[in-house]
Amino acid sequence: MPHPLFSHALKVLGTLAVLIALATPAAEAATPKRAIVKKHHVTKVTSSKKSVTSRKRVKVVVGGKRRGAVLAVVPAKPSFGQLAGLQASHDALDLKSSVALVIDQDTKEVLFSKNEQAVLPIASLTKLMTGLIINSAKLPMDESIMVTQDDVDTEKWSRSRLKVGTELTRGELLHLALMSSENRAAHALGRTYPGGMATFVRLMNDRARLLGMKDTVYVEPTGLSSHNQSSARDLATLVNAAYADPVLRELSTSTGYQVAVGSRTLQFNNTNRLVKNPDWDIGLQKTGYISEAGQCLVMQTKIAGRKLIMVFLDSAGKLSRLGDAERVRRWVESTPMADHKINISTSAKPNAG
C-alpha cells in the first residue's frame, strides 16, 4: 500500500498538470511556432547575359509578431526568346538583344537584321498602337477621365502612381502612357473609348491589319499581357505609322511631365534616357518590359544624315537595349553608306500557344 504522503504528492502533480493543460492553447501545445510570409516586394533586379534573378525582401511573421525581413533570391521567368533559343544567336555587332532590325525610313532598305521574323511578346511597345488609335479618333483631349479599379493591373500586379479615383484629362493620360509607359493610363484610355474595351482592342487589330502587320495581335492596350505579340518587321511598320502623327512624336520623346493629382503635383519622366542625350536625334520612341518579352525598345532617329527605324526585342538587361542602340549608331556613323547592310536572320516564330 503506497505511503499517504506519496499518494498526496501524486494528486498535487495531477492537479498541476490539468491546470497547465487548460492554460495552454491546443494549437500552440501541439505544434511549434511557424514563420509565416505575409507579403513581399521587389527590391533589386540583377541581370547578366545568361540569367536574370530577382532579390525580394520578405516580411516574416512568427507567432503573430513581425520578426523583420530577409532577402530571397527568386529565379527569373525565362522570356519567350530565351525559351526559343534566340539569345544564342550571334551577330557582327555583338548585340545583346535576341531580335534586332534597322531600316532606312525613306528607302525601306534593311541595314541590319537579326531574327526579324520571330514573333514575340512586345510588352509596352503596345502603347504606340494605343496612342495611334486614341489620337486618330479625334476625341476631346480635355475630357476628364477617372482611374477606376478596372484599371488596376491584375496580370502582373505592377505598381502605379495613379491611384484609384485619380482624375486626369485624356491628353494627360495619353502623355503618361507614351512617355512614362503608365499602365493604368493606357488601360483607362481603352476602357473609356466609345464602345468600350472590346471595341478598342478590335480597332487595334484592325489598324494592324490595315498597316500590313501580319504577325501582330493585340488583346489589351497596355502590353502587360504576353498575348500581345508582334515581329520586328511589323513593329518597324508601326513606328513608321506612329511617326507620321506629330502628337505621338512629341509625347513619346518628352523628357518629363507634371500632373496635378488633388493637392499634389506628380513628376513623371521618360523611360528612355536616350531622349536626354545630345548625341541622339530621336523623333519617336517607346520602351517595354515584361518577363516574357524581355527588355524592348523601338525608335525613329536620324544618324549620319539618314532617318532610321530601330527595333530591339528580348534584350537581357534594361541598359542592354540602350547599349545595342549605341552600337548601331556607332556602326552607322563609322561605316560608308554603301556598306550599311548586315543580315542575320532565322525563321523562329515562338508564340504564346
Catalytic (active-site) positions: 124, 127, 181
Helices assigned H by DSSP within 68-155: 80-83, 126-136
C-alpha 187/C-alpha 201 separation (Å) is 11
Cell matching residue 128: 504606340
C-alpha 353/C-alpha 350 separation (Å) is 8
Going 313 to 318 to 324 to 330, the CA torsion angle's sign is positive
Bridge partners (DSSP) of residue 110 are 103
Q: Which residues contact 226 (CB under 8 A, 6 or more apart)?
A: 80, 121, 290, 292, 293, 352
C-alpha 285/C-alpha 275 separation (Å) is 9
Q: How far is CA 46 from the centre of its chain?
A: 16
Residues for the chain: how many in total? 353
Q: Name the helix (H) or strand (E) containing 207.
A: helix 196-211
Question: Which is it for strands 110-114 and 342-344: parallel, antiparallel or unpaired?
Answer: parallel
The contacts found for 268-272 with CB under 8 angstroms, 24 or more apart, are 268/161, 268/176, 268/179, 268/180, 268/182, 269/179, 269/180, 270/179, 270/180, 271/179, 271/180, 271/181, 272/297, 272/299, 272/322
8-state DSSP, 79: P
The CA-based angle 84-328-215, given to 5 degrees, is 40
C-alpha 307/C-alpha 300 separation (Å) is 7
Locate cell 518629363: which residue? 256
Q: Is 140 helix (H, G, I), strand (E, B) or coil?
A: coil
